[in-house]
Structures are given as C-alpha cells and as structure tokens.
Structure 1
Amino acid sequence: MVSVAHELKTAPRIGMLGGGFMARTHSHAARLAGAELAVIATSELAGSERAAAELGYETPTTGADFAGHLLDVVHICTPNATHAEQCLEALNAGAHIICEKPLATDSASARAILDAALSKGLTGTVPFVYRYHPMVREARERIRRGQAGRILTVDAGYLQDWLLGAEDDNWRVDAGSGGPSRAFADIGSHLVDLIEFVLGERIVALSATMRTVHPRRGGATVTTEDTVAMTVELDGGGIGSVLVSQLAPGRKNGLVLEVAGTEESMRFAQEAPEELWIGRRSGSQLILRDPETLSDDAARLCILPAGHAQGYQDAFNAFIADSYAVFAGHEREGVPMLADGVRAALITEAVLRSAAQRSWVEVEPL
C-alpha cells in the first residue's frame, strides 16, 4: 500500500477501472500526459485482458482492489452506482482519483468521498471537460473582466438523440446501475457545471419538470427521465432556462450556452468549439480560436495554431494533464475538483425534488 504522503510524479503510475468508451478516452489522454499505464480492471478477466491489449496496460485484473499495485492515480470509468465504493477503495489504497460523473448517485456519498480524500491528504477530479475548450475559457474571462456587464439571463441546452427510440437501451437507463437520475445526471450535470464555471455565479433555486417518454426499454420498466426542463435563479440576480434531452432527433452532442449581460451576449456551442459569438446592441462578431488574440487562460489550452481544429479529445487531454499536475502539487486554473462533483450531486437532487414536488426548491449549499 502506497503512503498517502508520497511525492507524486507529474507523469503518474495509473490504474483504470472500466474498459468502455470513457476508459479509452481517459487512457488516450493519460498516455499523452506520459502516465505509466499499469493496471486495468473490468468486471471479467477476459474483458480486462482484451482492454489491456487494446489500450496498452501492463496488467489486466478484476475488481477494484488496487492495493499492492503502488498506483498514484486510479481512473474510475464504471457504471454510476459503483463510483462511491470504488472511489473509497482507491483512496484507501493511497491513490488520487479521477472519477467519471456523477461522482456518486447521491450527495451524501459524494460528500463522503470528498471527506475521505481530505482526511488522507489526497484529492481527485471529475471530468467536466467542456471547461477545457479554449473558447469557454475566453467567455469566462470576458465575464470576469466585466465586458458582459451584469448577467441578466442564461439560455442553455444539452440535446442528444442516442436514446430516441423505445428500442434504444443502455445500462444508464436502469436506476440500479445509473442512479435515480439519468438524462440530467448524465449530461445536465455538464451543463450546469458549465453555467456556474463560465458565469462565476451559483444556481441558488430552480423549478424543474421531467418526462419519461418511453416507460419500457429492453423489456424492463424505466424509472429514469428522458427529458428535463427547468428555470433557474442565479445568486447574482439573473434568471435562466435549461433544457436537457436524450431524445432530440439529429442532435448528437448539442451542448449550447448563451449568456446575456447588460453590455453584451455570448454564445458557445460544443459542436462548433472553435467559435465564440459575441452580441451587442450595436452589432455582433464571431471570435475564432486564435492563441495570438485570446486571453492567457484560453491561449494556454490552444495546442494547435489557429485554423487547425481542436475538439472534445483535446479538451479531455488538457483536463487529464491538469489533473496530474494538481496531484503533483502544481497550480492549474479551473480544474473540476471533487467539490465540483459534490456540487453536481446537490443540483441533481434539487432537480429530482422539484420535479417530484412540482415546485420551486432551493439548491443546498456546498
């Protein structure tokens, strides 16, 4: 078992829990960051062996007991309901954690992970990776500098279509594996994290409604939501609307954030990440990603010259590199930490509570 007081290398020795799409995304980013891909575990040894061969890990295994492997970091890319237990096991083995959202399927478990990390002198991050698009950082910096003025409204949406039909099924649909919320916990959490990150303001109250359009999938009853709509109040006095759906035909990963202030508006669309639209009463402009003209924080994330498109994997690569740097004791701007994972769980619970009560609710503070 590694000591929690050990000095972490910037390029750590890592373990991976899971072998699906997100494990591949994490592994690619980890390799680029110089990590030693030591151990990978899935639910069955045969799956672990395949994943190890495909992704380049030294040792395939099963389960989440990584004690004795002397790991610096454990990446957790497994079904949601397993996150809390696996995070605690990794922390008990002396490793920092990078846990896919949701950090846990309830806020009490998420807080327990944060408390355990603090007690052991460890920490962790949660992949709210849309923070890592350079044009998101540019929008954030313009708001910080006061260029937007006072924030008046937010109009945000996250639309997908991969669960459009009743025949479409996935483990996330099952509350036992995915938790009590599906659409909001899965993609809505990204959206509200982005709202709060860009604006520098908190959602303090909300009124939500949700629908389960397909009551049965894969021969089983569905208790998780397909769509969510809500109105939010911000602590700075602004108001906003948020729409989340996994049943929007033609929308593959349509995350959009538009903010209106007293001086200017800004709009970022994840499917066009090289652009930031700026609107003013006297006219508007489209800012393109160019490290020569962007703020320092945005330019830091520009790994390619202007005109050479960056996208989702580039954002993920930057997130993983920043996570490793933070674990090694370095400072990095805007890294989504365990506390941000707790925050997402608190907002998700407020959404579920509001929808059940059909009323406005306050979001529990962190």
Structure 2
Amino acid sequence: MDMRSGIIGTGFIGGVHAYAVRAAGGALAHVAAESLEHAAEAARRLGAEHACASAEELINADDVDVVHVCTPNALHVPQAEAAIRAGKHVICEKPLATDPADARRLVEAAADAGLVAAVPFVYRFYPSVREARARIGAGDAGPLWLLHGSYLQDWLAGSDATNWRVDPKLGGASRAFGDIGVHWCDLMEFTTGHRITRLIARMATAHPDRITEDGAAVLFGTDRGASGSVVVSQVSPGRKNRLWFEFDGPSASYAFDQELPDSLWVGGKRGNQVVPRGPDTFSGPAAGYARLPAGHPQGYQDSFTAFVADVYAAIGGHKPDGLPMFADGLRAAVLTAAVVESAADETWVEVPQ
C-alpha cells in the first residue's frame, strides 16, 4: 500500500517528518503552515506535491492517508481530533496533549475509529537502545535496581533565546520536562520494562523572567522496586542533545549516549565492553534496525525513518515491536502532570498507572 502523508507545521520537525516519509517509501502529498504563502515555500523546500491554505484543507484532502501534526503544542489536540474524525491515521508530535484528560480522549477516539495513531518517541529506534532492551529482557544484567541519566540541551542558554515553547499558553505548564524529560522517561520504561510509580521533582529556571522551567531534577521509584533519577535541562552550555542513560543490575550495566549513538557501553565486574552498532554485532531484534555496517554513522534522522516505516507497517496490518502509540503519549502527559504537581507541592506524588 502506497502511503500518502500530509504534514501540518513546516518548521524543523516538519522537515524531519518530510524526509522520513520519503525515506520510508511514502509520498508527501500536502503541507500546511500558518499561511498559504508559507506552505507554498515549504512545499518547494520539502518536496511536497501541494500546499494547503489551512490545516483543515489538508486533513480533509482525499489523497492523504496519514496526517502528521507538527504544530505548537496547544494545537495538537484539536488537529489530531479533526484528523481522526476525518478517518485519517495520525502521527502527532509530543506532547500529545498538555492535559492527561485530553490525551486520554485522543487515545479513546483513535481506538474507536480503528486508526493507527502514533507519537514519535523516536529514541526507541536507535539500534543501541534496542540492543540494551534485548539484553535486559534476557536477564543478562539481573534485576535492575538503579536507573539514572539525563537529557541536556543548550538552545535556551542565552537570556535572549526564545520561541513559542517558553509561552505556557502555547507550550503547556512544563517546558523542559514536558519537552525532553518525557523522552528520557519513555526510553527508560521502554528499555527496562519498569514503570515509574512515584516521584518527587524540583523545577528551576536559569532566567527568572521565564515562566516555565529551564530544567528539572526528578527522583523516582518503579513498580519493580528500582530507584532512579533524571536531570533535564535546556540551558546547559555545550550540550546539544545529550540524552544519556545508565541502567544498573548486579551482573551488568548498560549505558547509551545519543551524542555518541553508534555503540552500547556494557559494564561488567571483570571488564567493560563497547559494542559497535551493526547488523553483525547486535542481536536479532536490534540488528534489524542497524541498517548500515558498523563504522557508518546512523543517527536521529535514521531513527525517525525507522519509526515512520513501522507506522506504515502497522497501517498495513503488521504489529511492529515497540511502536509508540497515543497510549504512550498519554503516559507522557500523566508523568508531566505528576512532575508539575510534585514540584509545586514539594512532596512525593503517586503516578497514576
């Protein structure tokens, strides 16, 4: 089945979606932006067949199978709802919604309509992450007891750096955790199988004039008895997209760094290994996502392409392992709400499951 996509929102992430659509074998039929003029420019830049005057025009186009929602956070819910009502499969950027009730409504609407509705938690698609998941699932580390890491960026480090995300009316009550902290938490839960059950959070700003947080520190416990912590920041100079984790068991530890994604660090009591990413160095599930031989870099855009390819496979009736769906977007909204509540009350919060 040839998939035809329409992308609403043509900024950086819209361009990433556009490239992934073509690389995954789909066609970019339509794009929509804040105006027809901007959409026409984006259509030329991204290689779309047609520029739409509005999101509504794109959603209702007969030749769009999958609607990609790549707009500011406040628009995700109404645009995803409209796409579902139009009978279109949906890929919606995170956060799926800034309120758990809205996210739950989208989950139920997509399920009732029998549509594939996915959220691009694309860090799941790094082969090194899949290899860590396979080894943990096989019990190589023993019972994990300590789960820790960080996601650090610097794009808002300057006092004059800004975009729509700093406005809570457009981005939501949480910026740093809601934008990148949820990526780390999704990756931790996906890779380890643990679920965060309770947490305590502290939010902070480097620039007092900003309403939403520049960073957050979170301690948590899981349903399997592990303890954990994550630090997120969008104002750490020199850190571009340093998503890092280490998951420790009594027999082995596994570490991944997105800025050095082509290997998996495996810690052992008698020595450590750095396993290069490749179809002949990783195990079965991970090897399938290692499209290039070891030594040829494979990164974020490749992971995004793998995600879109799995969405297309799901639409075709397959069940790709680990495809992040709207339910995972709901999970992120629940975690974000818990972090905001904990930081406001300065206390531990139970996380609804």
Write the mapping of 1:168-187 to structure 2, written as runs, cut at 5 A.
Answer: 168-187=161-180
Residue type of the alignment partner of 2:185: V
Bigger shift: 112-121 or 142-151?
A: 112-121
Write the mapping of 1:189-338 to structure 2, written as runs, cut at 5 A.
Answer: 189-216=182-209, 222-338=210-326
SS in 2 for 1:283: coil
State how far apart, in whole Å, the 1-side matches of 2:197 and 2:66 are. Answer: 34
**What displacement does 1:305 show?**
1.0
Write the mapping of 1:123-202 to structure 2, written as runs, cut at 5 A.
Answer: 123-202=116-195
SS in 2 for 1:151: coil
**What displacement does 1:123 show?**
2.3
- 1:111: which partner in 2? 104
Residue type of the alignment partner of 1:185: G
Conserved 8 A contact 2:151-2:232:
yes
- 2:48: which partner in 1? 57
Q: Deviations over 1:222-273 (max 9, x none)?
A: 3211010010101110101110000111100110000110111111000111
Percent identity over paired residues: 50
State how far apart, in whole Å, the 1-side matches of 2:128 and 2:74 are. Answer: 33
**What displacement does 1:41 show?**
0.5
TM-score w.r.t. length of structure 2: 0.98
Counterpart of 2:10 (choices 16, 19, 37) is 19
TM-score w.r.t. length of structure 1: 0.94
TM superposition outliers: structure 1 runs of 4+ over 3 Å: none
State how far apart, in whole Å, the 2-side matches of 1:186 and 1:62 are. Answer: 28
Give the count of matched residue pairs: 351
- 1:5: which partner in 2? none
Conserved 8 A contact 1:64-1:89:
no
SS in 2 for 1:136: helix
Residue type of the alignment partner of 1:92: R
Conserved 8 A contact 2:32-2:54:
yes
SS in 2 for 1:287: strand
Residue type of the alignment partner of 2:267: G
- 1:6: which partner in 2? none
Conserved 8 A contact 2:29-2:63:
no
**What displacement does 1:64 show?**
2.0
Please provide the CA RMSD for this pair. Answer: 0.9
Q: Deviations over 1:150-180 (max 9, x none)?
A: 1110111000111012111111000011111
**What displacement does 1:214 show?**
1.2
Specify every segment of 5 or more residues in structure 2 that has no aligned partner in the other structure, as ranges: none
State how far apart, in whole Å, the 2-side matches of 1:42 and 1:225 are. Answer: 28
Residue type of the alignment partner of 1:201: H
Residue type of the alignment partner of 1:233: G
Counterpart of 1:76 (choices 65, 69, 72) is 69
Specify every segment of 5 or more residues in structure 1 that has no aligned partner in the other structure, as ranges: 1-8, 217-221
1:349 aligns with 2:337: yes
**What displacement does 1:38 show?**
1.1
SS in 2 for 1:242: strand
State how far apart, in whole Å, the 2-side matches of 1:45 and 1:156 are. Answer: 43
